[in-house]
Amino acid sequence: MSRARTIYALASILALLAAAVAFPDRAGAGVPALPTGTITAAFSSDFSTLDPAIGYDPFSWTGEHEIFDTLVGYTNAPGLTGTHLVPDLAAAMPKISFHGRWYTFQLRHDVRFAPPVNRLVTAADVQYSIERALAKSTNGPMFQSGFFSPLSGTAAFWSGKAKHIRGIHVINRFAIQFRLDSPDLAFLDVLTLPFAAVVPREQVARLGKHWADHVIGTGPYMLQTWQHGRQMILVRNPNYFRRGFPIEPRVVIQFGVDPHLQILRAEKSQLDLPGNEVTGTDYLALRRSSFRRQLYPVKDIGVWYIAMNMQMAPFKGNLALRRAFNMAIDKGKLFRLLNGRAILMNGILPPTMPGANQHFTYYKYNPAAARAELAKAGYKPGQLSLPMLYISNPDQDRAADAIQADLANIGVKISLKPVSSDTAYNLVYTPGKSVLTLFHWGQDYPDPSDFVDPILTCTASNNAAFYCNSTVDRLAAQARADTNTARRFATYRRIERIIMGDAPWVPLWDDIFYDFHGSRVTNFYVHPVWPFLYDQYRLKG
C-alpha cells in the first residue's frame, strides 16, 4: 500500500511539474484592458496610514505626498535636480533673517482644501498642523524629534509648559515665521517632510480617530475610498492650485500584490505601476526580455555600511583593527553579487547626495595591508572571532557571506547573525548589543546633515558605531548654520575625511533600485525623495 502511495505521489509531482512547464501562466487571457484616465498601481502591503503626523515610511509618504502639501518641496524631476528646494504652499522661498535664525514665509492666496472643506489655507493652519504633528497627544514619531528641536520653544511645548511652540509665529493670515534657537539650514528640508503638511483643523477635530481614513489635504488628489489591505482610490482634487495637474484624474492602488506578480501584471498590461522595487532575479530576467526598456533605474540616497561598535571590544580604542576591516572588503565582488545594482562607496556621504565628493576614496582593498593592520592591532590570524548582525534578505545574505569570506581571508572569523528588521533596530542602536553590524541608513531629506547629525555625532540616536568625535560635532554644528552652500558642503566633505580617518564604518555601497512601469505610462520617472509622483504621469491612449 505504502509503496503504491509513494509511486502515486511521485507520479503526481512529475505530472504537476510537467503541467507547469507545458502550460505557463495564462492568467492574462480574457482580462479586460485597464480603464483610460486611471493609473493602476500595486503594492505588496497596505499603507500604514495617511495621517501625515503619523506616517514615517516611504509607502505611507507616497500616498500622503499626493494628498497633502507643505510650505516648501522639491522640484518634480529625477536625480539631483529633484533635490532642489522650491516653494510649494509658500508663494516664494522664505526670507531668512536674524543671522539665519528666522524664516519668514508668505503663503499663496489661492490654496484651498479639497472638498468638502473648500476653504482657503492660512498661516494658522500651518501652525496648527506642525504643532499637531509634534504634540504628545498625537502619538506620532515627531514628539521630541530632533528634526524640529531647533525650533524655539519646542522643549517647553513637549514638556507641557507651553500650549504653543514659541518659534512658530503667525504674522498675519498669509504670513508665518519660524524662529530657531540657532541657525540650521537643514530646517528647510525638515519643512518638506509630510509631518509639516497642512491639514484642516475642523476636519481633524470632527473625524477624531477616523481622520486617517478620510484625510483631506490640498494636494493634486483626494482620497475617495480606502479598503484596508485591498484597494485605495484617489481622485482629482478640483481645488488643486496647480493648473494642469494631476494629468490623469484617477489612481487606483491595489494592496497585497506580490512584487513578482506586479511585474507579470505590468508585462501583460494589467497594471501601470508596480509599487515595489524590482527584485534581483526579476531584474536579471527583465534585462533578458523585451520589457527591458520598461525598467527604470533609481539611484538611492543612502548607504550600506559595516558599523564597528567603538564602545565595545575589540574595536574600542583599536584604530588598526578598524582600518584592517576597511582594507579587507572586496567591494568589487560585492558589486557583482548585487548584479551591478549599486554604487560603491568609500565615504559616508552617498555620491547621489548634493555636495558629496563622488570620487571620495580613503581605504583601498588590500588584503596584505589588512593582515598587517590586524597584526598591528594585536591579533594573529584565526585569533579573532566576531558575530555580525544583519537584516536577512537575498541581497544582504549574499553581501554578508562575501564579507565573511573576505574577513576570513585576513584571519578574522565572522559568525553571521541574520535577523528580522525589528530585531535589528532593537539591538543596533542599543549600547553593548551589537559589536559588528551590516546596516543601512537612508535619507530623510537630501542634505548632507542627515548623514552626520543623526548617525555619527556624539548625541546621535541612530549611531550604530557609537562613534563620538568632538571635532566632528563642532564642525557639524558649524555646517548646519552656514548659509554659504559651497562652504557648507566643503565642511561636510572635511567631516567625511575625519570620520573615515577614525574608521568607525566600512562604507560599502549605495543602492540602485529598479522600478518597472507598464507600457502605457509615458513620462515615467522616479523622484529621489518621493518615489512616485502619480500626478505627473501620463497614460497613452
Partner 1 sequence: MIGLPPLPAAETEESGAESAPLSFRGRVWRSLRRDPSFWIGAVLVGGVVLAALLAPLLAPHDPNTQFDDGITTLGEPLGHTAKFPLGTDFEGRDLLSRLLYGARLSLTISLLGNGLAVALGVLLGASAGWWRGWAERLIMRATDVMLAFPSLLLALALVGIEGPSLTIIIVVIGMVSWTAVCRVTYGQVLALREREWIDAARATGIGSLRILLRHILPHLTAPIAVYATLGIALTVVFEGSLAYLGLGVPPPTASWGRMIHDAADPNALLYYWLLLFPALALLLTVLGFNFLGDALRDALDPRER
Query: What is the SS3 assignment for 541?
Result: coil
Q: Is residue 404 a contact point for partner 1 (CB under 8 A)?
A: yes
Single residue of 38, 44, 311, 392 touching partner 1 by CB under 8 A:
392
What's the min distance (Å) between Cβ of 8 and partner 1? 13
Binding part of the chain for partner 1, among 400-408, 491-499, 512-520, 524-532 by CB under 8 A, reads 400-408
Given the rule CB under 8 A, which of 219-227, 363-371, 413-421, 491-499 is the region that contacts partner 1? 413-421
What part of residues 460-479 is at the interface with partner 1 (CB under 8 A)?
Answer: none
Residue 418 binds to partner 1 (criterion: CB under 8 A): yes
**213 counts as binding partner 1 under rule CB under 8 A:** no
- Binding of partner 1 by 27 (CB under 8 A): no
Contact call for residue 480 and partner 1 (CB under 8 A): no
Give residue for cell 524662529.
179
Q: Which is nearer to partner 1, 57 or 258 (CB)?
A: 258
**Candidate segments 126-134, 302-310, 416-424, 473-481, binder of partner 1 by CB under 8 A:** 416-424
Instruction: For residues 115 and 112, give the distance between their C-alpha atoms in angstroms, rounded to a whole number.
Output: 9
238 lies in the site for partner 1, by CB under 8 A = no
How many whole angstroms separate alpha carbon 406 and alpha carbon 408? 5
Contact status: 338 vs partner 1 (CB under 8 A): yes
Q: Which residue lies nearer to partner 1 by CB, 249 or 382?
A: 382
Residue number, 279 or 536, with CB nearest to partner 1: 279
Q: Which stretch binds partner 1 (CB under 8 A): 44-52, 90-98, 392-400, 450-458?
A: 392-400
Distance in Å, CB of 416 to partner 1, minimum = 5
Q: Annotate 383-406 with three-state secondary structure.
A: CEEEEEEEECCHHHHHHHHHHHHH
Q: Residue 268 interacts with partner 1 (CB under 8 A)?
A: no
Cβ density class 101-114: b for 16+ within 10 Å, e for less: bbbbbbbbeebbbb
Q: Nearest-CA neighbor of 272 among 510, 68, 33? A: 33
Cβ atoms 1, 9 nearer than 8 A: no
Tell me whether strands 231-236 and 250-254 are parallel, antiparallel or unpaired.
antiparallel
Comparison of 75 and 392: residue with beta carbon closer to partner 1: 392
How many residues in the shown chain lie near partner 1 by CB under 8 A?
31
The CB-of-427 to partner 1 minimum distance in angstroms stands at 12
Q: Which of 293, 289, 294 is nearest to 272 (CA)?
A: 294
Q: For residues 340-379, which are near partner 1 according to CB under 8 A?
A: 340
| Binding status of residue 398 toward partner 1 by CB under 8 A | yes
Contact flag: residue 26 with partner 1 (CB under 8 A)? no
| Residue 417 within binding range of partner 1, rule CB under 8 A | yes
Three state DSSP letters for 214-279: CCCCCCCEEEEEEECCCEEEEEECCCCCCCCCCCCCEEEEECCCCHHHHHHHHHCCCCCEECCCCC
As given in the structure block, the three cell numbers for residue 226 are: 480606502
Query: CB neighbours of 352 closer than 8 A, spacing ≥ 6?
Result: 79, 80, 299, 300, 301, 343, 510, 528
- Please classify residue 275 by burial: count the beta carbons closer than 10 Å to its beta carbon, then call 0-12 exposed, 13-18 middle and 19+ buried: buried
- Cα-based torsion angle of the residue sequence 246, 252, 256, 262 in order, rounded to the nearest 10 degrees: -80
Residue of 89, 310, 400, 506 interacting with partner 1 (CB under 8 A): 400
The contact set with partner 1 (CB under 8 A) reads 2-3, 6, 10, 260, 279, 281-282, 284-285, 287-288, 333, 336-340, 392, 394, 397-398, 400-402, 404-405, 415-418
